A = this chain, B = another copy of it.
Amino acid sequence: MFTSANATLDASHVVGWDHQFDVVVVGYGGAGASAAIAAHDAGANVAIFDLASAPGGSTALSSAELYLGGGTRVQQACGYHDTPQAMYDYLMASNGPQADSAKIRAYCDGSVDHFNWLVELGVPFKDSEYQQRAMMALSDDCLLYTGNEKSHPFNQLAPPAPRGHNLQVKGDNGGPLFIGTLAAAIAARGIAQFFDSRALRLVIDHSGDAKRVVGVVFRIDMQEVFVRAERGVVLCAGGFVMNQTMVEQYAPDLLRCTVPVGNPGDTGSGIAMGVAAGGVAINMHEGFVSLPFYPPASTTFGIFINDKCQRFINEDAYHGRVGSALLRQPGERIYLLLNIDDYGDYETRSYLGAPVAGTGECVVELACELQLDSHLLQQCIELYNHGVARGEDRQFHKHSDWLKMLDWPLVALDCTPGRGVHMPYFTLGGLKTAVDGAVLDGSEQPIAGLFAAGRTACGVPRRGDGYCSGISIGDASFSGRVAGRAAANIQ
């Protein structure tokens, strides 16, 4: 883990406080910025710290889509009738047995209000839709499907609606705009900002009936700086995807992927500080695993197969659901089989990076190039085509919009982990928190004075196979705002 963060400091050892605030926010990404603004607006004297030299965290590196719904202004303008209940049903189903129903309820019921809060801060959303099947909108249009809402089995479980809200900015530039907007709001409020400041450990006062977090020790300019937090500390220090030891320890399957998504500060230090104070880290084995096979959308007409020549997913699913399913396959190799036509603009438009493993004018040729059993391969393709002819994929329920005969010649992309394919990943575990962001101990009791939000906490998104784009920044800004408000209100 992160060595110094594994211990706490007893307040009796603090000779003097260098700074004193009501609320101290550790980490200046989307969660921390939202926490600082909310705490300030609730009347607290706030300071925000980051180990980097500028604001942003992983939020600034992201697309900063936000997964929001229940009837936002943009959803309404685009003619979608979404409800908090539909959104709740979807998020409960997609987060499986780990779903935190209280958090999901609060998130869905508060989603429209959160959208409006962001708009008031100056975050721009255009009342328009981005209709392509894509991971993020590359235009300045706003609304798109960023999860599995329209695909099986979720289309059977909740009324689908697009809930990905892309910022009004061209290209994949939402992150800098989002953070820039929040940073401007922080500056306008005169909130104290400290950069190049590494949080070392929490300071705990054991003198009362119950222990209480009362401050943070930072390292700034090679000095230990003692910062008092009268009301609360909010840990918004990101996840642990950049800590190889922690990933090996908690989520070893993720190491089959290729690109950890986050900023270098995602070392789990916030989680370790919370645990040292008595918090509990949960869901640490789970992660988001992407197989970014679209765009181009035409690849969705293809089929994924394992080396048993079995399909394993409805290919109209979200790329993260496909990635998670891929890691569960028996055998080693994974291929995406495509019509040559649908391969079309793969090379120019794809993020997948999967090399061509083989092409074939007939099944024998392709099977030979892929080192698969030609009989099995033939049967698999025939089975799929049989469903296409019938207009129904009875095996995996891919939507009929994406059913198209596989017709020779075919091309196979090698999607086997470790053989060239691009597989970004990040972690989904963190501190157990109450709905208001209070860090809970092993007895489910809040640790006085300690809050966590964003990826340092275990929030709404909990499963790789149910993840949807925009839920991380949505949850980070929402949970940060909630935690900041709660920290400010403690007297």
Instruction: Mark each residue of chain A from 256 to 280: 1 if its CB lies under 8 Å from any CB of chain B, else 0.
Output: 1000000000000000100110101
Question: Are B373 and A394 touching (Cβ within 8 A)?
Answer: yes
Copies in the complex: 2
Q: Which residues of B contact A54 (CB under 8 A)?
A: none
Beta-carbon contacts under 8 Å, A284-314 to B:
284-286, 308-313
Given known A-B contacts A394-B373, A395-B373, A442 and B1 have beta carbons under 8 A apart:
yes
Residue of B nearest to A394 (CB): B373
Restricting to A337-393, which residues have a CB under 8 Å from any CB of B? 373, 375-376, 379, 383, 386
State the Cβ distance, A184 to closest chain B Cβ, in Å. Answer: 37
CA distance A394 to B371 in the complex (A): 12
Size class of A's contact patch? 35 or more
User: From A97, which residue of chain B is reached at the shortest CB distance?
Assistant: B252
Closest B-chain residue to A282, C-beta based?
B249
The distance in angstroms between the C-alpha atoms of A252 and B441, with both chains bound, is: 19
| Complex Cα–Cα for A205 and B246 (A) | 28
Interface string of A221-244 (1 = CB under 8 A from B): 000000000000000000000000
Q: Are A379 and B376 in contact (CB under 8 A)?
A: no
Instruction: Report B-chain residues with C-beta under 8 Å of the C-beta of A309.
Output: 395
Cβ-defined contact, B284 with A97, below 8 A: no
A96 at the interface (CB under 8 A from B): yes
A6 at the interface (CB under 8 A from B): yes
Cβ contact of A285, chosen from B96, B285, B325, B373, cutoff 8 A: B285
User: Do residues A330 and B308 form an inter-chain contact, with CB atoms below 8 A?
Assistant: no
When chains A and B are docked, how far (Å) is the Cα of A252 from the Cα of B428? 15
Q: For A285, give the chain B residue with the smallest CB separation.
A: B285
> What is the CA–CA distance of A97 and B396 in the complex, to the nearest angstrom?
30
| B386 close to A252 (CB less than 8 A) | no
Whether A6 lies near B441 (C-beta < 8 A) is yes
CB atoms of A97 and B248 under 8 A apart: yes
Q: Which residues of B contact A276 (CB under 8 A)?
A: 442
Residues of chain B within 8 A (CB-CB) of A97 are: 248, 252-253, 255-256
Given that A330-B312, A432-B249 are known contacts, is A443 also in contact with B376, CB under 8 Å in the complex? no
Distance in Å from the Cβ of A436 to the closest Cβ of chain B?
19
Partner of A386, one of B96, B325, B375: B375
- Say yes or no: is A250 at the interface (Cβ < 8 Å to chain B): yes
Contact (Cβ within 8 A) A275 B373? no
Known: A6-B278, A98-B252, A284-B284. A308 touches B396 (CB 8 A): yes
B394 touching A383, Cβ below 8 Å: no
Query: Of the candidates B252, B282, B376, B396, which one forms a contact with A383 in the assembled complex, judged by CB atoms under 8 Å apart?
Result: B376
Residue in contact with A394 in the complex, picked from B249, B283, B376, B395, CB distance below 8 Å? B376
- A317-350 interface with B by 8 A CB criterion: 325, 328, 330
Asked whether any CB of chain B lies closer than 8 Å to the CB of A3, the reply is: yes
For chain A residues 1-32, which have a beta carbon within 8 Å of chain B? 1-3, 5-6
Among B96, B272, B311, B312, point to the contact of A252 (Cβ < 8 A).
B96
Q: From residue A269, how far is it (CB to closest CB) to chain B in Å?
A: 11
CA distance A375 to B383 in the complex (A): 9
Residues of B within 8 A of A250 (CB): 282
Which B residues are in CB contact (< 8 Å) with A253? Answer: 97
Given contacts A282-B250, A310-B310, A379-B383, contact A330 B275 (CB under 8 A): no
Q: Which residue of B lies closest to A329 (CB)?
A: B328
Q: How far is the CA of A286 from the CA of B96 in the complex (A)?
A: 17
Chain A stretch 430-447: residues in CB contact (< 8 A) with chain B: 432, 441-443
A250–B376 alpha-carbon span in the complex (Å): 39
Q: Which of A392-426 contact B (CB under 8 A)?
A: 394-396
Q: 15 A-B pairs, CB-CB below 8 angstroms? A: A1-B443, A6-B278, A6-B441, A6-B442, A97-B248, A97-B252, A97-B253, A97-B255, A250-B282, A285-B285, A285-B286, A308-B395, A308-B396, A373-B395, A375-B386
Nearest 10 CB-CB pairings of A with B: A1-B442, A285-B285, A6-B442, A97-B252, A328-B328, A3-B443, A308-B395, A373-B394, A249-B282, A310-B310
Known: A249-B283, A308-B395, A379-B383. 16 other contacts (CB 8 A): A1-B442, A1-B443, A5-B442, A97-B248, A97-B252, A97-B253, A249-B280, A249-B432, A272-B442, A276-B442, A285-B286, A308-B310, A308-B311, A309-B395, A312-B330, A373-B395
Binding site for B on A (CB under 8 A): 1-3, 5-6, 96-98, 248-250, 252-253, 255-256, 272, 275-276, 278, 280, 282-286, 308-313, 325, 328, 330, 373, 375-376, 379, 383, 386, 394-396, 432, 441-443
